[in-house]
Structure 1
Amino acid sequence: MSQAVGKLCFRNKAALAPMVRVGTLPMRLLALDYGADIVYCEELIDIRMVQCKRVLNEVLETVDFVAPDDRVVFRTCQREKDHVVFQMGTADPQRALTVARLVENDVAAIDVNMGCPKEYSTKGGMGAALLSNPDKIEAILSTLVKGVSKPVTCKIRILPSLEDTVNLARRIERTGVAALAVHGRTKEERPQHPVHCDVIQAVAQAVSIPVIANGGSLDHVKSHSDIRSFREATGASSVMLARAAMWNPSVFRSQGALPLERVMEDYIQHAVRYDNHASNTKYCLCQMLRDKVESPLGKQLHAAQTSAEICEVFGMEEFYKETQALLQAKQEALSTDNHHIDRPVMDGDVTTMPVRFDRREYPPQITPKMHLLEWSRREKLEQPVYETAQRALDRGFQSTVTVGEKKYRSTLWEKSKKFAEQSAAIVCLRTLGVPEGRIGDPDSGLVNKRKRDEKGDDESEEEKVMTNGFPNASDSSSRKRHPPITPQEEVKG
């Protein structure tokens, strides 16, 4: 299959580099807003990606690649379709091809990480481990070039020998890749070591494909005007920024950088609009704060645990409420249009539906399990009994609830035992046509005022119901606070 190399040009471009935990959709969109030409996603491992299904998210207007545990591994949208490069970690040509074909219609190019020295990348022979296996490099890139319709690129680090680096670059060029990104440090060197501009320049002179220079954030690129200077110093076609863009993405603005607080607010808008996980949002904001992470603002940010709390720190409560209201209205409209999708289906003797428990949809201290328990008592039925299984693949949980000698289960796996039980309760309630207590639903009278005033649904009567397979103790993982995030954490990619 021939490549459509001309669709994404890699000459005279400024790119957001792939960075683990940083290069998610909100950061990529923010970089594009500020003037970046190309944005790379964080490195995503092929073994994880091959398990994913492509799902159209009509509420967010995104394309989500969803793992078996129902977690979104990669999210993209139309705004970045012609600019986003999907970077994968791989050491297997056929698995790489499977992943590339899965995502190729939703991205602008496919990139293989051959430079990250961290164990996250190098285990299994991926990342910088590939630098010592040029035959594997050639096999992976050749397979991708022949097998997908989008441009294929790769990102390497330099080798200890200039001659070996140039020879590897030439061998990579012969596979037919559209461009080559070069981080001007060896796999043993770290950000405090100077970037070897002369080696990048030698590579650029040795090959005819575009070379993208990377590694200049600390010494060379502190403002937008420095991007051109770094490109000239390396003789490269384009420049890729990691830490400089992570610290302040408005470095891509030709008009000059914006105040950091404005940048953080712009980032939060994208994070809330696209339902980014709060812990990831907080991590990226803390990286922007850098040495100010211990400031009053930094301490407030660190204490925030949800997107709503993050917005409160920045005085963006109204924005959060308005955005959530819009998304909720859209969800309800789509649910009305597609109500047939959630009809119960029998799986043997178990009634199933694809349901996931979202705590945000319910009032504080009120849960579907509480409604099901009270309904069972009112109908003079045995108390609901939950049987929970845990999947070895990803440690996901799935519960089956028995009520009135009938069984109910969600087909989706949850991140905790408690969430799995709530999902099972929702399936039962919806199948029976019983109110489940969501925000905005009329008061069914099932859960009385005493229970509403009880603090902590984990300690309410619903948790006293006998369960099988797991102890009744609350899931400790849900109570753990996120560990301190410091700007000293090194960016990988």
Structure 2
Amino acid sequence: MMAGRLSFRNITALAPMVRVGTLPMRLLALDYGADVVYCEELIDIKMAQCHRVVNEVLETVDFVAPDDRVMFRTCEKEKDRVVFQMGTADPDRALIVARLVENDVAAIDVNMGCPKEYSTKGGMGAALLSDPDKIEAILRKLVTGVSIPVTCKIRILPSLEETIGLVRRIEKTGVTAVAVHGRFKDERPRHPVHCDYIQAVSQAVSIPVYRQVRSLDLVKTNKDIEEFRKATGASSVMLARSAMWNASVFRSRGTLPVEEVMEDYLKYAFRYENHAFNSKYCLCQMLRDKVESPLGKQLQAAQTNAEISEAYGMKEFYQQNQDRLQTKRDSLQSSTQPDRPVMDGDVTTMAVKFERREYPPHITPKMFLLEWSRKEKLEQPQYEVVQRAQDRAFQAIVTLSKKKYRSTLWEKSKKFAEQAAAVVCLRILGIPEGRIGEEDSGLICKRKRDGKTMTNGTTEGEEATIKRRSTENTQETENLESEATVAVAVANGDHHEPDAPPKRP
């Protein structure tokens, strides 16, 4: 074994588990004493479409799909001990994915044991057990194509002789280790583990053979791990359900109360902005029979990480983390983005952030841009907002006179994104934007600057304008009235959606 390469002898590992083996759970297992952690099985077709992104805010490496979903997220803390498990049935595609991630993980593992339909119907998982030629082709391609260890996980075959024969064939491909799930393809966790198969396989080959434990009947505490290792003759042990229910099973000093484990888990989930639904799933597994308790019901009702933090009494921790990430995000954006105009296709961009404190209470850049377009007899500005999936931040494009303007910085709300786009447009055109201390441009009348409004929510000047124009163009009047009302409401902190105008009294 080359120096610095991951060893699979005499280790205890967090087994690959769908929806469980994401970054927070992997880091938690390492903290508690796991030697190696596996990510959940990720399908090669989806991973092959991803691009690698260094996330400077979270200090992670993200593999992002074309739809902006983060398929796999990892960080420096686990780099030397995380195994990337893929589902594949194609040697060439497997190599593409392995090369994509090999500089950010410690080893590559191929899942050849999953009996679930989503895996087997594509010829992956346990379906490969009936095609040893393809198993050999995939593993040889990976072993010769990447610089890190390659392993695989299988289930036992109908006979001991067949199982030993397959493992010996796998050994000849040059893999570093093999994990054996001691059940047949059609058996499930309720069925007993065939320890005799594992023991025989361990004695038949020279590479490490490690056994996946999915039953709490066998391993409930850290002490049980060594006893199971001796009973099976396996070099190493993988923990699945027992670790999913209480990851502190890896602790040599004994398990912790599950309440403490859940809190430790959430610290990582918030720190790395884990998707709320994934966090909910993992927490529900830990709650087990208490999932219908008051805490369990509050957790199930939660839709966001903020609501999860409230359920667990961690609202202050969550907010402090959010503030820290936002400060870092702002700092990185301001230091890396140019403050001069840059063309991005047909869109003029600048690095502009909307700072509400820089404007009087009743004034916004959108109001100035709207009034200027009216003065110049142009069509009113049109805004288009998009949301980034990875952190739910917003960016807007404003179109005026068939020209488009956008800020390169992302904002926390749709309204702020629209205001930032308006600022870019105003600055490019050299038009006042209404900032505090700026000389009065005359674009906004005194009543509007003072925020004096009629009973229907519009200013006196806006009301007169609306009445004058109503006889000329009814549709135009409705649009202008709505825009004016929205502008005043935004200045006063109302955050309703732009496509749903405020109700009039």
Identify which of 154, 162, 167 aligns with 1:164. 162
The 8 Å contact of residues 396 and 418 in structure 2, kept in 1 or not, is answered as no
Q: 1:253 aligns with which of 243, 251, 254?
A: 251
Aligned to 1:28: 26
Q: 1:86 aligns with which of 79, 84, 87?
A: 84
When structure 1 is superposed on structure 2, of 211-220 and 150-159 the one drifting more is 211-220
Q: Helix, strand or coil for the counterpart of 2:255?
A: coil
* Matched residue SS, 2:103: helix
Alignment RMSD, CA only?
A: 3.6
Identify which of structures 1 and 2 has the higher relative contact order when contacts are C-alpha pairs closer than 8 Å and 6+ apart.
Answer: 1
Residues 382 and 403 in structure 1, CA contact (< 8 A), matched pair in contact too: yes
Once the two structures are superposed, what CA deviation does each residue of 1:42-98 show, in whole Å capped at 9, x if it has no partner? 111111111111111111111111112222111111110111001111111111111
Cα gap change, 1:49/1:430 in structure 2, threshold over 3 Å: closer, same or farther? farther
- Residues 341, 57 of structure 1: CA spacing in aligned structure 2 closer, same or farther, 3 A cutoff? farther
Structure 2 Cα separation of the partners of residues 298 and 409 of structure 1: 43
Residue 138 of structure 1 aligns with an amino acid whose one-letter code is E
Evaluate the alpha carbon distance shift between residue 410 and residue 362 of structure 1 in structure 2; reply closer, same or farther with a 3 A threshold.
closer
- Give per-residue Cα distances to partners, 1:373-414, cap 9 Å, x unaligned: 65553332434557899xxxxxxxx997633311357999xx
Deviation readout 1:142-163 (Å, 9 max, x if unpaired): 0110011100000111112221
Q: Distance in 2 between matches of 1:162 and 1:427?
A: 68
Once the two structures are superposed, the pairs formed by residues 211-222 of structure 1 within 5 Å of their partners are: 211-222=209-220
The 5 Å alignment of 1:75-474 reads 75-340=73-338, 344-347=342-345, 349-351=346-348, 374=367, 376-379=369-372, 380=374, 381-385=378-382, 402-407=399-404, 425=418, 428-429=421-422, 431-432=424-425, 447-449=487-489, 456-457=496-497, 460-461=500-501
CA distance, structure 1, for counterparts of residue 351 and residue 130 of structure 2: 46
What TM-score results when the alignment is normalised by the length of structure 1?
0.79
Q: Is the 8 A contact 1:213 1:240 kept in 2?
A: yes
What is the TM-score of this pair, normalised by structure 2?
0.77
Q: Report the more deviating stretch, 193-202 or 146-155.
A: 193-202
Structure 2: which 5+ runs fail to align?
357-363, 387-394, 428-434, 439-448, 450-485
Deviations 1:205-249 (A, max 9, x none): 111100110134232111111111111121100000111100000
1:452-475: per-residue Cα shift (whole Å, max 9, x none)?
575742653399xxxxxxxxxxxx
SS in 2 for 1:461: coil
Give the Å deviation of 1:26: 0.3
- Aligned residue for 1:125, secondary structure, equals coil
Q: 8 Å contact 1:372–1:425 — kept in the other structure?
A: no
Q: Secondary structure at the match of 2:154?
A: strand
Distance change (3 Å), C-alpha of 1:322 and 1:262: same
Q: Is the 8 A contact 1:201 1:235 kept in 2?
A: yes
| Structure 1 position 346, deviation (Å) | 3.0
Matching residue of 1:39 = 37
Distance 1:455 1:212, change over 3 A: same
Distance 1:164 1:316, change over 3 A: same
- Report the counterpart of residue 366 of structure 1 in structure 2: none
The CA distance in 1 between the partners of 2:190 and 2:340, in whole Å, is 54
TM superposition shift of 1:311: 1.1
On the 8 A contact 1:52/1:66 being kept in 2, the answer is yes
Counterpart amino acid of residue 191 in structure 2: H
Give, as a single letter, the amino acid of the residue that structure 2 aligns with 1:460: A
Structure 1 residues 230, 384: CA separation in 2 closer, same or farther (over 3 Å shift)? Answer: farther
Change (3 A) 1:462 1:425: farther
Taking only the aligned residue pairs, the percentage that are identical comes to: 66
Question: Counterparts of 1:426 and 1:152 in 2: how far apart (Å)?
Answer: 51
Change (3 A) 1:338 1:399: closer
**Is the alpha carbon distance of 1:429 and 1:121 closer, same or farther for their aligned partners in structure 2, counting shifts above 3 Å?**
farther
C-alpha distance in structure 2 between counterparts of 1:248 and 1:254, whole Å:
14
State the structure with more CA Rg.
Answer: 2
Q: Does 1:12 align with 2:7?
A: no
